[in-house]
Amino acid sequence: MDQLTNYLFIAAVLFSLGVFGVITRRNGIAVLMGVELILNAANLNFVAFSRFGGMNLDGHIFGLIVIVLAAAEAAVALAIIINIYNNLNTINVDDASSMKQ
Amino acid sequence: MEQYFIQFSLLILFLPLAAFVVQIFLGKRLPRQGDWVSISAIGITLILSLIMFATMLSSYDSGFSKEASFTWIDMGSFSIQLGFLIDNITIIMLVVVALISTCTHIFSLEYMAGDIRYSRYFAYLGLFTFSMNGIVLANNLISMYMSWELVGVSSYLLIGHWFEKDTAANAGKKAFLTNRVGDIGFFIGIMLLYTAVGSFMFSDIFEGVAVGKISGTMLTLAGVGLFLGAMGKSSQFPLHIWLPDAMEGPTPVSALMHAATMVAAGVYMSVRVFPLFSPDALLVVAYVGGFTALFAASIAVTQTDIKKVLAYSTVSQLGYMILAVGTGVYTAAFFHLLTHAMFKANLFYGSGSVIHAMHHALHKKHDHNTDPQDMRNMGGFKEKMPVTYWTMLVSTLAIAGVPLFSGFLSKDAILAGTLAFAQHHPAHLLLPVFGFGAAALTAFYMFRLMFLTFHGAPQMPELIDDIHESPKEMTGPLVLLASLSVFIFYTLPYVDPFSDHGWFTDLVVAGDSFVPGSIPAREIADHAHHAHYTAMYTSIAVAFLGIALAVMVYLRKVFSAENWVKSFGTLYDWSRNKYYFDENYERFLYQPFFRLANKVAWLDWDLYDKYFINGFGRFTDWLSRVTGRFDFEGIDQGLVDGTGRIVNYLGGTFRKLQTGRLQNYLLYVTAGLIILTIIQAF
Amino acid sequence: MGILSLLIWLPIMGMVAIAFIPRKYEKYIKITAAVATGMQLFLSIVLWQRFDSGIGSMQFMERLEWIPSFNIAYILGVDGLSLPMVILTALLCFICVFVSWNTSKAVKGYFALFLLLDTGIVGVFLSLDFFLFYVFWEVMLLPMYFLIGIWGGPQREYAAIKFFLYTLFGSVLMLVGILGLYFSCGKTFDILDLMRIAPEALQGVVWWGMSGIKVIWVLLFIGFAIKVPVFPFHTWLPLAHVEAPTAISVILAGILLKLGVYGILRINYGLMPDGVYWFSGALAFLGLINVIWGGLCALAQTDLKKLVAYSSVNHMGYALIGMAAVIAAGAANGTNFKAAQAGIGGAVFQMFNHGTISAMLFILVGVIYERAHHRDIDGFGGLASQMPVYAGITAVAFFAGLGLPGLSGFISEAMCFIGAFPVYRGIVIASTIGILLNAAYFLWAFQRIFFGELNEKYNKLPEINRLELFTVVPLLVITIFFGIYPAPYLDIIARTMDMIINSVVSLSTFAGM
Amino acid sequence: MADMVFWCIAALTVISAAFVVLNNQLLYAAIGLLFTLFGVAGLYVFLWADFIAGVQLLVYIGGILVLIIFGIMLTNQISSVRLSQTNVQQGVGAVVVTWLFIFLSMVISKTPWLIRPALEPESTTAGVGTLLLTRYLLPFEVISVLLLGALIGAAVLSREGN
């Protein structure tokens, strides 16, 4: 538990799973959840580097900012999704293609 | 009193200006259109001048002189001082200006009554008096030049007083421009003197001339330059053309400016700067003056317009004065200026009175086509206008040079000086010929004027009943000035009608010229004195010859004027048409000048600008078209669009990868990333 | 912020304020412009009060770093040469706001551009850094282009583009000259530094076989000469003056032309005294051509505004002749310091006087144009009886233009002549013909417009109104005041003129060449 | 003991994360996300990041997750049978992601990480607070403005009848 690589591996797993989710899911909300996983992986890395880099608190700050961004992103994304749903009656990202050429 | 002279001068100078300002801004709103403002201002001026005159007479000091200056411009090195120079000449001139100006103001009360620009007229008179006094009082060339030009402007404004008439407007412009020609010479003279001496003050300049800071050709040129100014203002040949035209102005103005004072400014200036005229310059002065005297008299002989006769007579008399300056007897010139101012102003007032009467008579008959100034329409006015007749007769006798009258004294002094000059420089015999010839002609044409106007049968009998003597405002000045044409006023305290010896000759004594090598004034005076009797007898003889001729032709009709006209055909035509000066100036000076101006303007605008400057524009335009073509067809169509077409083709190929599905892209990205790292790793 | 900065930036503040006023409140826009320029005028008078005329060098200096890597700084200062010009600018701009009070086309844009122009002009007069000088010089150009091109007469686009190209051509040459100075004089744009360095640093500089001083002198001279305008570069002027709206003609003639003379005196004379000796003969000769050519062209015009425009060409010729007189102070010409002072003082005074007189003339032309809707001199006649006050004021303005003593133009013209006479006798004598030409074209025009029988078409023409009187009378008063008592003006400039003369005389090595 | 707890939490995190991306029932996936987030918070504690852990709990679980569940509820009629979804390109995705994981693992294990000696664990709250209000004041303010903007934007976007 006192090894950097352990945390990095866990973060790598989370990241890979998040990417997989984003690539494969068709439901917008599910895609969003994949993004949350990716963000958590990144956050975990930040904090881990902070801990093993001499308890430098800068990493924590970045982590905080990422959390805030995630919150903002989630709020906006969900608002968009609900809008799409209200207009198209679906939340599948492929179906929302009226802006496609 | 002498200690107050500077203050007096200030008042004399600025009171008329104050009247001018008041009249311009308030004139129309004041009761009686403010004429009383002008009259009281000029009246005070006259009183102050007379006080100064009386003081001068009581102290009886020929060397009196008082000067005051102040710094007007001071830039460190370059500075200009302005100031007053008050000596006996100044005081006499101030009295002349104030006196004639006052008479004119009073005369105008009636003459100009009911004029649409009545207050404006008085305002301009004030401006004129101010600037004329400025010339008189100046102790330096700059303020003299400034006043000089201002006089020109007031003359312009007054000649053009009835500007609705094109002739009046033209005459004003002509007067100003002709004067400007002279002024350019004046200014060049000033610059020559300043460059050499470094000061504008008369005293400094004279000193500089005396020590030889400027001499030889330069001094002559400077003198001629200054004299050119005098020629313009005093209407000397060949710049004489403006004065007869200036008669378009109101007659009182003609009396004040174009007879007595303004035109005399040239003479006054020549008298002032006489000490710096080099002998060569003086010769130029003498010939111009002498020629003008005879030349103008010969024109006056045939004129029929009463004011034109007087105008040419003025030109001729001014020529006399200039001649006197040129021959060195400049005090005689100034003396003639003084006497001439009185009798010529009087003659103009007289003519004004006649014209006034004619005008009213014609007005009553509703006749607007007959020229009220043409002597051929007059005749027999003697009984109808006795005051006018007698006063004019006195002045005519004076101008003709008949003993007992002022003109005799001054003219005699001039002729004596001229004769003496010719005796000592026999090469210049022509000068006295000019002088005596002009004297004979003067006597002739003046009496011709008198006879045609007042004697004989009325030419227009239907008018004669309506011709009346003018009111007191007009006859008052006539009587005053006529009485001042009697010799006694000039010879006191002596009573010899055949000698000019009097207060004037005692108080105004010629000083030596400052030009090294000139004849001393004492010697000139001696020469003139020796020539005095010869000149006197000759001048009396020619005067009576002229008068006799006039009597025989126009009164007794012994000779027929018509026959003379026939036998002198060409000469008569030339004289009648003023030797075609106006026409020739028009043809050889003005017209070519305007053509030049139009050519230059055409060159500037239609050639230089249109073709040369805009040519740059056209060339650039052409160049830009060429480059534009190259740009479009070569670079744009070939290179740029070629690239575009290739890209278009490739895009068509690769577009199949574009699914528009974000997740596909993400997959590609991830896959690409991995492939890249694999390549990197191995 | 010093008083000089305030003077420069006040109009810009006014412009910003105008930008926030909605388009429809035209009245408030005009009032804002009037307040901005009025405050500027007030400040310039304060500046004049606090100015010490006993000192010839720069006063009220301000200095801020701007672009240190190129030695570019924000340097302002005022001396006897620029102070009167600043006051004149402030005065004319203030007056011009009222001249254009009745503008109805795009009022907001008009006044905004006008204030920008104001800033540019004052900036040029006050800046002491060459780069800043150039920036303001260009700032001035652009609003002028739009003001002529949008609010002008029928040929406005043509006139505007011509003005623009002409001036831009000059600016480019000037920029090359500036860069030449920059690189040959120790890489500084500070004019005061350059004044010390340039005369020596430029010694012996040779470019392509030509003396560096001569090249830079000519480049800068052409740049300024176009503004003056000197003879072969003058044809933009009649067109631009004729087509521009009245207020802009006033600014053009009243101030912009002075920038040329100012530039020559400040830059060419200050930085390259050697060149002055080399060029002064040509300068006087160009002045002569300006006088005669401008006079003859004016005589031939039938358009009143064009006549006044050509009279500007004529009048600026006198200033050029006066400027050339500065070499009279040199040893080669008998160290006639008096003449040099008279000449250069006359030239600088002529700048101011022409500024007031030509401004007056253009305003008066505008007055008649607004009533009769044409400017054909022969198309009037007899107006003196219909509009006596207008005729009287015009008469004074015309007389001032023809150099009548008692009005300011006379003194400056006379000083120019007197100063140049010892050095250029022939040229001065030839150019006195100009005095006659002045009188001829002004009096002839006056006669055709005002004298004779009243033209029946115009028997209902209204007299000049109060607003127009308000714009003309201050200029009239100044013209008369300085005509009678020029000392206040000459006191301000005298010491600075001494400095210019001394720098030309002492730093110049050309005198012996 | 601590080791075991660590591995348990690590396992919980990874397994529930896999559940999130693989389960077809959206609601279950969301529940899985809940556990993942808990697990990450636990890991933070092991990394001595007490403040971040707290924030993780408050913001992620208390805010974002609730928001997501709301989203799911609102976009699927309760009456409709399955709150489910289908997946695409699973095969290719799996291959690519596996490769990605392998690559990341290689990077992690081969990199000579520079490890600084750790200090005694202490509360980071004060340190983070100080940093936020000194060195990172501007980013802090910017991010708060961003958050505010995002919230307002979200509110505007989801307004009825838009």
Please determine, for residue B682, whether its predicted confidence score (pLDDT) is greater than 80.
no
Q: Which residues of D touch B663 (CB under 8 A)?
A: 88-89
Please determine, for residue B29, whether its predicted confidence score (pLDDT) is greater than 60.
yes
- Let me know the angle formed at the C-alpha of B578 by B574 and B579, rounded to the nearest 5 degrees: 50
Q: In sequence order, which ranges of C51-75 are alpha helices (DSSP H)?
A: none
Task: Show the tokens assigned to B171.
Answer: 């005459």
Minimum Cα–Cα distance from B659: chain A residue: A100
User: What pLDDT, on a 0 to 100 scale, did the predictor assign at position D118?
Assistant: 67
Task: Tell me which of B661, B677, B679 to substitute to probe the interface with D (most D C-beta atoms closer than 10 Å).
Answer: B677
SS3 C303: strand
d(CA C367, CA C388): 14
CA distances from B462 to B304, B305, B365, B454, B458 (A): 20, 20, 9, 16, 9
d(CA C261, CA C85): 11
Nearest to D93 among B667, B674, B677 (CB): B667
- pLDDT tens for each residue of B264-313: 899 999 998 988 888 889 999 999 999 999 989 988 888 888 888 999 99
- pLDDT tens for each residue of B185-223: 999 999 999 988 888 999 889 888 888 888 788 899 999
Q: Which of B202, B38, B204 is nearest to B121 (CA)?
A: B38
User: What pLDDT, on a 0 to 100 scale, did the predictor assign at position C362?
Assistant: 92
Q: Which residues of B touch D90 (CB under 8 A)?
A: none
- Letter string b/e over residues B599-611, b meaning 16 or more CB atoms within 10 A of that residue's CB: ebbeebbeebbee
Q: Which of C500, C423, C504, C510 is nearest to C214 (CA)?
A: C510
Q: Which residues of A touch B666 (CB under 8 A)?
A: 19, 22-23
d(CA A39, CA C167): 62
Architecture label for domain A4-96: Orthogonal Bundle (1.10)
Reading phi first (left if > 0) and then psi (alpha if -120 to 50, else beta), residue C334 is in: left
SS3 D106: helix
CA distances from B212 to B190, B217, B515, C418, D99 (A): 17, 12, 8, 21, 115
Task: Show the tokens assigned to C159.
Answer: 């006139």
* pLDDT averaged over every residue in chain B: 86
The domain locations on chain A are 4-96
> Average pLDDT of B125-132?
92
Nearest to B674 among D89, D93, D100 (CB): D100
Helix (H) or strand (E) holding B263: none
| Half-sphere exposure at residue B3, Cβ-oriented, CA atoms within 13 angstroms | 0
Determine the distance from the C-alpha atom of residue A22 to the mean position of all C-alpha atoms in its chain, rounded to a whole number: 9
Q: Quick one: pLDDT band at residue B361, thresholds 50, 70, 90?
A: confident
* Chains contacting B (3+ CB pairs below 8 angstroms): A, C, D
Q: In sequence order, which ranges of A1-101 are alpha helices (DSSP H)?
A: 4-24, 28-52, 58-88
Looking at this protein, which amino acid is placed at residue B336? H
- Could you state, in chain order, the average pLDDT of each consecutive group of 10 residues for chain C (513 residues)? 86 90 87 91 92 86 86 89 92 91 86 91 91 90 89 85 86 89 84 84 78 87 89 85 89 90 89 84 91 89 90 91 85 78 91 92 90 86 86 92 90 91 90 89 90 84 88 92 90 88 71 42
Nearest to A47 among D52, D64, D146 (CB): D52
Task: Tell me which of B667, B676, B682 to substitute to probe the interface with D (most D C-beta atoms closer than 10 Å).
Answer: B667
Contact yes or no for B500/B491 (Cβ under 8 A): yes
Q: Is the CB of A22 less than 8 angstroms away from the CB of B666?
A: yes
Q: Is the CB of D90 less than 8 angstroms away from the CB of A24?
A: yes
Nearest to A97 among B660, B663, B667 (CB): B660
Task: Tell me which of A55, A81, A91 to substitute to probe the interface with D (most D C-beta atoms closer than 10 Å).
Answer: A55
Cα-based torsion angle of the residue sequence B610, B616, B622, B628 in order, rounded to the nearest 10 degrees: -130
Q: Is the CB of D36 less than 8 angstroms away from the CB of A14?
A: yes
Q: Is the CB of D103 less than 8 angstroms away from the CB of B677?
A: yes
d(CA A25, CA A30): 6
> Looking at CA atoms only, how far is residue B51 from chain C in angstroms?
29
Residue-level pLDDT, tens digit, chain D, 162 residues: 778 888 999 999 999 999 888 887 888 888 899 999 999 999 998 888 888 999 988 888 888 888 888 888 877 654 454 545 666 777 888 888 888 888 888 888 888 888 877 667 778 888 888 888 898 899 899 998 998 988 888 888 877 654
Contact yes or no for B441/B401 (Cβ under 8 A): no
Chain A and chain D touch, per 3+ beta carbon pairs within 8 A: yes
User: Among A64-73, B604-613, C497-506, which is the least confidently predicted range?
Assistant: B604-613
Could you tell me how many CB contacts below 8 A there are between chain B and chain D? 17
Q: Is the CB of B600 less than 8 angstroms away from the CB of C297?
A: yes
Q: Is the CB of B660 less than 8 angstroms away from the CB of A100?
A: yes
d(CA C15, CA C32): 9
Q: Which of B645, B669, B181 is nearest to C438 (CA)?
A: B181
* Chains contacting A (3+ CB pairs below 8 angstroms): B, D
Could you tell me how many CB contacts below 8 A there are between chain A and chain B? 18
Query: Does the beta carbon of B114 lie under 8 angstroms from any beta carbon of chain A?
Result: no
> Looking at CA atoms only, how far is residue B432 from chain C in angstroms?
35
Helix (H) or strand (E) holding B153: helix B141-159
- Let me know the angle formed at the C-alpha of D90 by D84 and D91, rounded to the nearest 5 degrees: 155
Q: Is the CB of B670 less than 8 angstroms away from the CB of A24?
A: no
d(CA A75, CA A67): 12
Q: Is the CB of C405 less than 8 angstroms away from the CB of B166?
A: no
What is the ipTM score, two decimals?
A: 0.68
Using the 8-state DSSP alphabet, how is residue B162 labeled? Answer: G
Using the 8-state DSSP alphabet, how is residue B520 labeled? Answer: P
Task: Tell me which of A33, A45, A52 to substitute to probe the interface with D (most D C-beta atoms closer than 10 Å).
Answer: A33
Contact yes or no for B352/B453 (Cβ under 8 A): no
Higher local confidence (pLDDT), B33 or A42: A42
User: What pLDDT, on a 0 to 100 scale, did the predictor assign at position D79?
Assistant: 45
> Looking at CA atoms only, how far is residue C432 from chain B in angstroms?
6
Q: Is the CB of B670 less than 8 angstroms away from the CB of D92?
A: no
Q: Which of B420, B53, B498, A48 is nearest to D53 (CA)?
A: A48
Please determine, for residue A90, whether its predicted confidence score (pLDDT) is greater than 80.
no
Residues 6+ apart with CB under 8 A from C393: C364, C464, C472, C476
Determine the distance from the C-alpha atom of residue C216 to the mean position of all C-alpha atoms in its chain, rounded to a whole number: 23
* Chains contacting C (3+ CB pairs below 8 angstroms): B
Q: Is the CB of D75 less than 8 angstroms away from the CB of A81?
A: yes
Peptide bond into D139 cis (omega under 30): no
Q: Is residue C372 classed exposed, middle or buried when 0-12, 13-18 and 19+ CB atoms within 10 A define those classes? A: middle
Minimum Cα–Cα distance from B161: chain C residue: C451
d(CA B123, CA B533): 48
Phi, psi of C103 (to 5 degrees): -60, 140
User: Among B341-345, B602-606, C322-326, C429-433, which is the least confidently predicted range?
Assistant: B602-606
SS3 B465: coil
Nearest to D71 among A51, A64, A78 (CB): A78
Contact yes or no for A98/A78 (Cβ under 8 A): no
User: What pLDDT, on a 0 to 100 scale, did the predictor assign at position A94?
Assistant: 66
d(CA A84, CA A95): 10
Chain D residues in contact with chain B using a Cβ-Cβ cutoff of 8 Å: 88-89, 92-93, 96-97, 99-100, 103
> Looking at CA atoms only, how far is residue A95 from chain B in angstroms?
10
User: What pLDDT, on a 0 to 100 scale, did the predictor assign at position D84?
Assistant: 54
> Looking at CA atoms only, how far is residue B680 from chain D in angstroms?
12
Please determine, for residue A99, whether its predicted confidence score (pLDDT) is greater than 70.
no
- pLDDT tens for each residue of B515-532: 887 788 888 888 888 888
Q: Which of B179, B169, B202 is nearest to B87 (CA)?
A: B202
User: What pLDDT, on a 0 to 100 scale, did the predictor assign at position A56?
Assistant: 80
Task: Tell me which of B72, B77, B118 to substitute to probe the interface with C (most C C-beta atoms closer than 10 Å).
Answer: B77
Reading phi first (left if > 0) and then psi (alpha if -120 to 50, else beta), residue B68 is in: beta
Peptide bond into B493 cis (omega under 30): yes
Give first-to-last CA distance, chain D, whole Å. 56
